[in-house]
Structure 1
Amino acid sequence: MTQAHFYSKPTSVYWTCKALTEGRTISQLTQIQNVKGWRLGAIIHRLRWEYGWPINTEYSSPGQIALYSLAPDADRSKLRFPKSAKALGAGEGAV
């Protein structure tokens, strides 16, 4: 699928990938504060199902804010990246 069909700003996708590979736990609020993005759930869904990322989801309380993080045992060198975040897979920002 091409980047034009990702339906999220490339900066939001890049920021999400970078934050997760840095070991951060992120939420919709952190995405809004950092890149003014509103599609974190959609980005996480695509990273999981299209790119195979092992992303954990926790909730701040039942049915409330979703907190996303990369699984602690994830091999960051084997992650596949969306087009707008390919630079991260080449070493930039990789942990």
Structure 2
Amino acid sequence: MRRHRSLVCAIFCAVLLLAVPSGFAHDFDRHNDHPLRYLSYPFHALGVFAEYTVTRPIHWLVSQPTWAEIFGHQGQPDDDYWTWRVTP
């Protein structure tokens, strides 16, 4: 019985390992390998930091019902100020 259980477990593990697709890296594109691109990475991080600490709180403030009329804010049904949304 013990041997049967280990055989079933080994077959199950083998099926799981063989069923996993292998990952592939993106193709290398020489047009994306510009030295200034590497310098832009810290600026992107600063931009995301500024968005979360400055612009999103301001947008949240002016979109409140009491302030929205003063600032002319027209909300969207999917407004969510605190989550990062990746567009496909």
TM-score normalised by the chain length of structure 1: 0.21
Q: Normalization by structure 2: what TM-score?
A: 0.22
Which protein has the bigger helix share? 2
The structure with the largest strand share of the pair is 1
Structure possessing the higher radius of gyration over alpha carbons: 2
* Bigger RCO of structures 1 and 2 (CA < 8 A, at least 6 apart): 1
